[in-house]
Amino acid sequence: MPPDAVALTIRRHMEGHRGPLYLGILAAIRAAIESGDLQDGDRLPPQRHLAAVLKLDLTTVTRAFNEARHQGLIEAVVGRGSFVRGGASARLWREGGRALIDMTMNLPPLLENPSLKGLMQEGMASLLRRQEVHGLMSYRSTAGTPEERAAGLAWLRPLLGRRGPGEVLVAPGAQAALLAVLSSLARPGDVILAERCTYPGLRALATQLGLVLAGVDMDGEGMLPEALDRACREHAPRLICCTPTIQNPTTATMPLARREALLAMARRHEVMVVEDDPYGLLPDQPLPALARLDPRRVFHIATVSKVLSPGLRTAFLIAPDEAQAEGMTAALRATAMMAPGLLTGLVHHWIAGGQAQDLLRGVRREMTGRQAIARTVLGEMAEAHPQGLHLWLRLPAHWPSTAFVAHMREQGLAIVPSEAFTVEGEAPLRARLALGPATDRGMLRSSLEMVAGALRQDARAYATVV
């Protein structure tokens, strides 16, 4: 589209806008991309020309362009001008006809160095050179090949130490592994203890299987041992499910003493523990897993989705012994049949060749930078781990969680209210923000500044008066 036509398109999308004019230009650019009026690579008019078309000051247009760059919508090329950034439309998703920046999905950032795309191309080419296509695309052992299982144990050695190869299974993601454990060890009506605010996937599985989920109070270091003791006495639970490192959503991480105290309570009440540990490898200095401290009492689930990529659909399930691993294999076969060989083969190749470790280090570096931005913008308004993928936002009393989330959606930003995580009782005045989906740090900073601005405002200003 010629730049003159782009200017007229932006003017058309600004019609009816109320509020700061630079935000009107930004909203018009976003709306034009979302509607398809602007395509990836389209050149924007020079800022002076657009200012003349819109009859605005140059500084207003400049501010709007800067904000659009921060949000990953446009890019500036020295000597050529500004262009709609490649893939900009893919960075926005629809809800009710609006374009939203998504901070709901907890996933690692897409790295440029090392390049995930380059590693995938090299890895797939290597797989096809070394293995027959039929073997990669056919049915296979439910527990995974011996090589894949050995790779999983090597990958998890910083957390688990050394474990026997007969104790590990390869699963098509952590949710499938968690389903295998819960369906094998619990029956409808059994009580499962979890953190008071917990992973929504666990809540969904409990509902699906007819299990009763009971919440255990927490502090900044995770489950409180005395609260776990009371819950065990009250409920006689079948299992304890917890995330000891960078808990979702609270970001709480159990120090060694808390881990040992939790396991002591589990032994006292003779309850097995399910350790859902998607973030265990993210800290610079990983703490020992519960399954290392008490190997015969803990089922350990570790996915690569949160440290490498969710599209790999690969997780490792470590059982307390080989007999229980066989039981988990039967449950996986009944519910998921097997993990996809093409993807688990790629994960095996990356672990064996060191590429997975390079990606992990890259994710750590990027999340350290993103969390530093969040601390600068939000300060004490949020709790987070220095290498975590998300933060747990504190909301003032005048902003109920659902109201705040609804307001941020109106501003074009999608986040998750605390109600999505709360097991029982009143949901806290909190919201979870995922920092990984932002395409770059500029877009992240811009999004967090929107949140910080909204926190300083009064919800009553947005109430409808009738």
pLDDT the model gives residue 463? 47
Q: What is the spatial order of strands in the sheet that 93-95 belongs to?
A: 93-95, 98-102, 413-414
Half-sphere exposure (CA, 13 Å, Cβ side) for 434? 20
Half-sphere exposure (CA, 13 Å, Cβ side) for 75? 10
Instruction: Answer whether 300's CB lies under 8 Å from 263's CB.
Output: no
Is the predicted pLDDT of residue 98 greater than 70, yes or no?
no
DSSP state of 252: -
pLDDT the model gives residue 71? 76
- Cβ-count burial 155-186 (b if 16+ within 10 Å, e if not): bbebbbeebeeebbbbbbbbbbbbbbbbbbbb
pLDDT the model gives residue 99? 53
Q: pLDDT (tens digit, 9 = 90+) per residue, 401-428?
A: 989 998 898 888 999 999 999 999 899 9
Average pLDDT over residues 66-91: 77
Banded model confidence at residue 88, pLDDT cuts 50, 70, 90: low
Q: pLDDT (tens digit, 9 = 90+) per residue, 384-404?
A: 999 999 999 999 998 999 899
Is the domain spanning 367-462 CATH 3.30.70.2740? The answer is no
pLDDT the model gives residue 17? 74
What residue ranges do the domains of the chain occupy? 3-91, 116-356, 367-462
Q: What is the spatial order of strands in the sheet that 430-434 belongs to?
A: 382-384, 390-394, 430-434, 416-417
Which two structure tokens, joined as six digits, stand for 2?
Answer: 């010629």
pLDDT the model gives residue 465? 36
Instruction: Answer whether 355's CB lies under 8 Å from 366's CB.
Output: no
DSSP state of 288: P
pLDDT the model gives residue 332? 95
What are the start-end ranges of the E strands in 52-157? 74-77, 81-84, 93-95, 98-102
Q: Which of 8-17, 107-116, 280-289 has the highest mean pLDDT?
A: 280-289
Which CATH code is given to the segment(s) 116-356? 3.40.640.10
Banded model confidence at residue 79, pLDDT cuts 50, 70, 90: confident
Q: What are phi and psi of 328, to 5 degrees?
A: -65, -35
Residue for token digits 């909203």? Answer: 27
Which CATH code is given to the segment(s) 3-91? 1.10.10.10
Banded model confidence at residue 265, pLDDT cuts 50, 70, 90: very high
Residue with the larger pLDDT of the pair 463 and 119? 119
pLDDT the model gives residue 428? 95
Is the predicted pLDDT of residue 333 greater than 70, yes or no?
yes
Residue for token digits 């993210």? Answer: 282
- Whose CA is closest to 73, among 47, 107, 39, 96? 39
What are the start-end ranges of the E strands in 395-455? 413-414, 416-417, 430-434
Percent with pLDDT over 70 in the chain: 94
Banded model confidence at residue 466, pLDDT cuts 50, 70, 90: very low
pLDDT the model gives residue 456? 87
pLDDT the model gives residue 442? 87
What are the start-end ranges of the E strands in 217-358? 218-219, 222-223, 239-242, 272-276, 298-303, 315-318
Is the predicted pLDDT of residue 459 greater than 80, yes or no?
no
Average pLDDT over residues 137-156: 94
Is the predicted pLDDT of residue 89 greater than 60, yes or no?
no
Give the three-class secondary structure for 268: helix
Which two structure tokens, joined as six digits, stand for 250?
Answer: 């609270």
Average pLDDT over residues 107-135: 88
Q: pLDDT (tens digit, 9 = 90+) per residue, 186-244?
A: 999 999 999 999 999 999 999 999 999 999 999 999 999 999 999 999 999 999 999 99
Residue for token digits 């987070």? Answer: 384
pLDDT the model gives residue 177? 97
Is the predicted pLDDT of residue 97 greater than 80, yes or no?
no
| Reduced DSSP (H G I as helix, E B as strand, rest coil) percent helix, strand, coil of the chain, to 5 | 50, 15, 35
Q: pLDDT (tens digit, 9 = 90+) per residue, 26-45?
A: 888 888 887 778 888 889 99
List all residues 6 or more positions away from 34 whose beta carbon is below 8 Å from its beta carbon. 89, 92, 94, 98, 99
Is the predicted pLDDT of residue 131 greater than 60, yes or no?
yes
Average pLDDT over residues 319-325: 97
List all residues 6 or more positions away from 210 whose beta carbon is below 8 Å from its beta carbon. 188, 189
Between 341-353 and 116-130, two packed helices, what is the crossing angle to 10 degrees? 110
Give the three-class secondary structure for 257: helix
Is the predicted pLDDT of residue 353 greater than 90, yes or no?
yes
- Whose CA is closest to 163, among 284, 299, 275? 299
Identity of the residue numbered 155:
W
Average pLDDT over residues 111-125: 88
Distances (CA, A) of 436 to 1, 106, 373, 449: 32, 7, 13, 16
Is the predicted pLDDT of residue 67 greater than 90, yes or no?
no
Q: What is the spatial order of strands in the sheet that 191-195 belongs to?
A: 168-171, 315-318, 298-303, 272-276, 239-242, 191-195, 212-216
Residue with the larger pLDDT of the pair 457 and 316? 316
